[in-house]
Structure 1
């Protein structure tokens, strides 16, 4: 068993333990392996360990990996980086998910550029819960206006919310912020039946994310090691 396989197995076991502790359904928690800047070889090890979902931050790098692995594997690819307008076509044509929807222009471009032979692109609205100027995302009071636009697009499927909170090492402080995000998610879910995904939690705050109700974890360092 290689080191990547050991790490994935360990993380999946940890997810089960945490979920059980906080009364969450383990089967509903998805693990996305963040493979940005990681070589093909390491991703291959993750695939052999049973990992099917991967997250990429950079469009060109992600497309190259998608093309490479599509020859032999059926994987699910998530775009989790900030999306520039001039790169939207590649995301629309190659990725299965886009986590970083934060403006109408990107919504309309993805909808028009999504090939008709593919199923609708799964999209998440990125919320900037802490108002950090160096991060993408919208304020909480803008969620429903963007959701309405997405729902009018036949080639997009609104699936929920994504958030990258300010890094915080204190568990109790993490929970306070994460619960706020979960409440926003539930409000959106109440209005739209297609909403089922809260993308929240990375290697350093996975426990708090699960405890607060996240069902999609974006884990990179704990699987592939530090960049």
Structure 2
């Protein structure tokens, strides 16, 4: 799949250039390839090109893909990044390495209870609604500290940081504003004693703004896999 390989390289170059502009080591920004709606064969091709972390939004689709790629399990890191309903937490707790989209304490509690004995702690991020959009999931910024401290105390989970899906904006300066707000919240939580290391922010259209504002993980789908077809 030459287009996919070319796209992966192009995204890595974008990350490296943005990091250079920000005075950062490009290796400080992890690339999460968002493979939702794309077939397992595309994930396999990206894996063959060196990509190891993949993000999924829909539980049932993800489980089908995990089964199809079971032979790669030891070298793939699976991240759940979509809205998570309480009745679908068990398979995520049992089969994923990360969950970015914790928007309420109840979800974290269920994941903690359902994480199997013997597995490493589930890495989690609190999703913050930095743009205040009614249609977006996420805790309000003023609620984030209480939720984060409660999650950090749960066994079998490891609170890694914050995630956001800011409202689209036109210019890079406009894009930087919500990313900066998330990074400032992240810094305040670290100053309050939480051991956080992950800022999951930035997608295909705004990864440069996110990297400039301190993203440690960017979630890139379209720029790698192409436009999505949601008709199915």
Counterpart of 1:144 in 2: which secondary structure? Answer: helix
Confirm whether residue 125 of structure 1 aligns to residue 126 of structure 2. yes
Counterpart of 2:130 in 1: which secondary structure? Answer: coil
Counterpart of 2:160 in 1: which secondary structure? Answer: strand
Q: Is the 8 A contact 1:169 1:204 kept in 2?
A: no
TM-score by length of 1: 0.96
CA shift, 1:202, in A, is 0.2
Confirm whether residue 90 of structure 1 aligns to residue 91 of structure 2. yes
C-alpha distance in structure 2 between counterparts of 1:218 and 1:72, whole Å:
21
Count of equivalent residues: 227
Deviations 1:137-172 (A, max 9, x none): 011111111112112211100000000000112111
Counterpart of 2:82 in 1: which secondary structure? Answer: coil
TM-score by length of 2: 0.94
CA shift, 1:176, in A, is 2.0
Confirm whether residue 11 of structure 1 aligns to residue 5 of structure 2. no
CA shift, 1:72, in A, is 3.2
In the alignment, what sits opposite 2:144? 143
C-alpha distance in structure 2 between counterparts of 1:221 and 1:145, whole Å:
34
CA shift, 1:2, in A, is 1.3
Q: Which shows bigger deviation, 64-73 or 8-17? A: 64-73
In the alignment, what sits opposite 1:66? 66
Confirm whether residue 111 of structure 1 aligns to residue 109 of structure 2. no
CA RMSD of aligned residues (A): 1.2
C-alpha distance in structure 1 between counterparts of 2:72 and 2:97, whole Å:
17
C-alpha distance in structure 1 between counterparts of 2:2 and 2:120, whole Å:
35
CA shift, 1:67, in A, is 2.3
Counterpart of 2:218 in 1: which secondary structure? Answer: strand
Counterpart of 1:31 in 2: which secondary structure? Answer: strand
In the alignment, what sits opposite 2:207? 206
Q: Is the 8 A contact 2:149 2:194 kept in 1?
A: no
Q: Is the 8 A contact 1:15 1:26 kept in 2?
A: yes
Q: Is the 8 A contact 2:31 2:217 kept in 1?
A: yes
CA shift, 1:193, in A, is 4.9
In the alignment, what sits opposite 2:80? 79
C-alpha distance in structure 1 between counterparts of 2:98 and 2:193, whole Å:
18
In the alignment, what sits opposite 2:225? 224
